[in-house]
Structures are given as structure tokens and as C-alpha cells.
Structure 1
Amino acid sequence: MNPDQSPQHSHKCDISRVDEPCSEALAQYRRALGTGTLPASEVSPCLWELHLVAELPDSPELVRLIPPEIAAHAVLRPLEDAFLARGREIDSTKAVFSAFTEAWAGARRDEEPPLTYLDGGELISRALRMAVDACETELLTAQPGGGRAQHLLQEALERDLRLLDRGVRQRTIYQHTVRSHQPTMSYIEQIGNAGAEVRTLTEVFDRMIICDRKVAFIPVTVPRANSALRIYDPGLVRFLAQFFDNAWDRSTPIVDGGSPLRSPTVTSDIQRAILRAVVGGETDDSIARRLGMSRRSVAEHVRRISVQLGSNSRAQLGYLLATSGLMEDPEEEATAVV
């Protein structure tokens, strides 16, 4: 008799609860072990579900017991087959996605990674030369630190004149202090005559080179020559280019035609930056590094203002500066009044 056809079949055995078998079915099975049979009308549905009983063709009113190992095979075999089939399905699906993954990777195998750490001056120079030589439309450069060494200026001059001759627009931001460094000013005059644009700020955020707004180079350690980060990520390059543009709008053009190397505006900007640094408690060495000038020049600025204000100590000078109004920017005041 099929358990689904039995009038006694009121529930199904939950064979997934292997740690807690049906108590009714287990009790019936134990009682019947002596005779090996059970009345068909009294068989627990769980015994049918677990294949632990079978019909007796010659005695339809009875069922015979089935050894557990045989019954287990009948129950577990379909489960094992289903498990194996699902495993094959998983392997097949993985193989399909593997083909797509290979296609994706193959299309990007020649692309540059979004961020690359460059360690060592030679590697950085080679990567920079390759990027700048491939530049087609625009080169943006920020150069902190004041005047540059003669051999670096010569290398930059040859490179920049080649770029400008190809029609690449070049914009560079230096610090105001380069205006008193004759070798750098000579270099700026030559590239300016070839079409480059150069401006200066009191402070330049850090060294940065951007080619065609597609690849950027920034330092990651001090000193800057030791390591750099090459950036291809579009969002990050766009952010850096916008940062450069904002600094460019605030910077002062270097005007040719015999104008003084340092205009009153530039000089006052440098002086205010030094005074603010003194009030902030910076040392002469720290100020010199940040503004791209010599420590002796910073010390001379500080000495003159100390004499002017009658200061006898660095701490007194900081207080006097903070209360003197010397650090105020006349243009900022005019804007505030308007």
C-alpha cells in the first residue's frame, strides 16, 4: 500500500531532522523486529517515507520490515544524485563566467593600472619622460621650492621647447621666490617667448605634473625625488587638474618687458607669509623650506621686522605681529568692505 493512499497517512516524515527521528515510527519498528511484519493499517507514515517497510504481495493486510541500510540507500541515492547534479551545474556556470572574465581581462590587459607606485629617481624620470613625450594638448606643472638647479633647468628647457613647438599648451606655477633666481627666470623667459605661461604664488601646494588631463604624477615622500605616484584614475586626475586651475586663478603672472623681478604685490605676499609663519611658531628653517627661499633671507626678514616693532624675543615678536595689523591684506580688506 502506498503511504499517500493510506487513510492513516495524516503527516509526512521530516527526514531532514536526522538527529531526531520520528518517535512513533521508531517505536513501531522496534516492536516489529521480532516478527518482521506490521499490520498495514497501523504503519506510521514515516516508515513509508523512510522506505523502512514494503508491501507483502501474498498478504496485503501486512507489511514487511526493510533493513535500514537498504532503506537508507533508497532514500539517500536521489539526494546524492541531486547533490552531484547541482555540483555539475555550479562547475558549468563557473566555466561560462570564466570565459567572460577572460574576455574582460583581455580587453584591459594593455591598460595602465589606475595607481602605480614609482620607487627611485631613475624610474620616476623614465615614467615622466614617457608621459610628457606623449603629451598632445596640455601640460600642467606645479614646481615648489624656489629656484631650480642649472642642469634641471637645461633638461626642462629642451623638453618644453619640443612640446611647445608641437603646439602643446604649457602652464607652470612657481613660488614667488623664483623671481629673484636669475637662472630660473632666464629659463622662464625662454619658454615664455615660445608660448608657455608661467605664474607664481607665495606657496605652492606640492610638485605635480598633469599630461592632457589623463595622467598625473605627485610625490608621496620627502624628499620628493625618492618616490612618486602615477595616476590614471579619471576622477582623481580631474580633481587634481581642478585644484591646479584654482591655484592658477589665484597666482600672479610673470610679465616680461623689463618689469621688476618682484612687484610690490609679490613682495608683500612673501612678507605676509613669513609674518604669519612667525605668529604660528614656525622656525626659520621651516619657513624657508615652505616658501622656497634661503634660511638667511627668512632670518633677515624676521630681523628687520623685529627692529621695526622693537621686539626682544621671538615670542614677543609673534604677539606684536598678531596685534599690529601688518599681516592684513589690503585687497582682502577692500573686498570685505565692499
Structure 2
Amino acid sequence: MAQPDLQFLGVAPRDEELYRFLLRTGGAEPDELNGPAGHEDGSAGTARDTEAACRRLTGLGLAVESMNGVLRPVPPAKAVERLVELRVKQLQDELEETVGRTGIVDSLLAERESGAQRGAALAERGGAPIRHLEGLEEVRAAIDELTFFTRTESLTTYPRGTLSPQGIANSRAMDLRILRRGVRMRTLMGSGALDDPTTLAYLRELVAKGAEIRISHQPLERMIICDRAAALTPIDPAHTAKGAILTREPGLVAALVSLFERMWDTAQELPVGEDGTDAEDGLPTEIERKILKSLYTADKDESGARDLGISVRTYRKHVAVLMQRLDATNRFQAALLARERGWL
């Protein structure tokens, strides 16, 4: 029976050969990969070949480089799990790009906007600046459509501050999809969030993925603003289930953005400690631990961010904060100081 390979998970035969070599030996120094493991025919590879191979193995999550320069294999189960995650993310990115390029959503919307409604709907989307949405179902459909096409920035407020478990379950996929695309997400929560463990846990999950979240102790106006081009506000703020107003009128949207910025400026950063206190002097969060570990294995910010499933901007922001907390002058020193403190 033929030996199964990793090509279906995106691993080239050459890289798989090196990974299997590391599994057999338990680890190797880079120059050892120039020998029999260098090429299938036993010939030696160049130093540049070896350096590139090491980067590929660590980038794929098949190996990690220890502080003394030894390349060690990641356990097979963990390595394959990571490869699956990378392939799924790659496929999802490719599909989302294809969806955007082909305009399939517009094509399907055109089918829905048939008959007498089609002309009015197309006019609304193309030129009518204000649209009234009746009921929760219509509002949710509009939110799904707006967020799907959001590419640069999402601004949202939650005056009550608390999110139900069902609401979180409904929002998680959409929120994470927005963050995965590198969209800047800023969310203002009412102070009730501080007293609700379920809401706090979800907000911290979003922050770990790159969201910016603040808590306001002042009254908030409910709104959702996408790309500073479209905004949703409730028809009746006291009874949001009645529906919403969708506006694309530039002046109104600009006014709502200005209102959001004023509310944002007076709000406080989301506490990150498990007890609701600032954790700056405490232990690092889970995402911070992962970033500290990546400082050993990732040769570039782009690869580190990709491995963690966050944007490069978010990755660099976390690195800068960690270096400041550790009083480190460079990233390698930050990793060493983190290990000395028992963070890793």
C-alpha cells in the first residue's frame, strides 16, 4: 500500500520529506539538512535552499526553531490540524474573493427584486438615499447585506451593553468574517457589559481577533455604520423591533459618523483582565501568548499574523504593546523576557 502524503494539505513533497526526516531524528540543525536529507538523491543543498526550507517548515507549522537553532518537528496531530486550518482559511479567502469578483450576490438579489418591486429596489440601491425597513427580519437581512460588502470600517453601538447567548451565536460568524478580511471594527458598548460575564467573554474574544471595543458610561445612540457610506438607525429607539432606517445620504451618514466619534472619544477601553480590571501588569492574554511564541517562529509580521488568523495591523499593535509592557528594545528580547517571567 502506497504511503499517504501531505500534498492534499498544500505541502510540497520536498517539505514533507524534510518534516519526516525531522520526525525520525527528533530534530536537526539547519546545516544537517544539507546532507542526506538535502535532496532525494542524497546531494547537498545550498545554504540558501536550507534557509528557505526552514522558513517553509516553520511557516506551515510543521517545525519550530529552538533558541539554540535546532529545528524540531511539531507533533503530527498538531501539525496536521494546523495544515487543515490553513487550507480551510485559504479556501475561504479564495471563495470570498471569487464571490466579490463575480457579483453573484448582486445577481441573486436581482432575482429577488423581480416584477414591480425590482425597479423600485434598484432605484433605492442606486440612488434613493433613505429606506425604511419594517420588522426585525428585514433589518437583519439589511445588516447581513451591508456587512458582507463592508471592506474598510465597521462602526457599531450597543446602548444596553449586554448580548444574549443567542445574539452572540448569531453574530459570531459575521463578526469574525469581518475581522478576518482586515476590516477595522470599532464597537461601543453600554456600561451594562461590565456586569455581564457572557458579554465580556465574547467582547474579549473579538478584541483578541483585532476588534477595538470601548465601554461608555454615557447614553448611546443605536447605530451601525459601514464604510462611512451607509448607516442603520432604529425607527423607534425605545422599540428597536419595529424596524430601522437605512440611509446612504452622505450628509446624514457624515453626521452619524461625527456623533459616533464623539461618543468614542469619551468612552473607556474594554478591561481585559478576567476580573474586569486592566491586565497590563498581570499575565498576558491568550492571543498575547500566541504572539510571543510566534516571535520565535515567524520570520515576518505577515506570516505571524497569518498563522494566528489576525490582520497584520492587529499583530503589530499587540507586539508594540507587549514590547512596552516588557520594556524590551527588540522583539527577540521581548520573547526572552516573556520566557523569564514565566509567560511562555
Q: Structure 1 length as normaliser, TM-score?
A: 0.44
Structure 1 or 2, whichever has the larger Rg, is 1
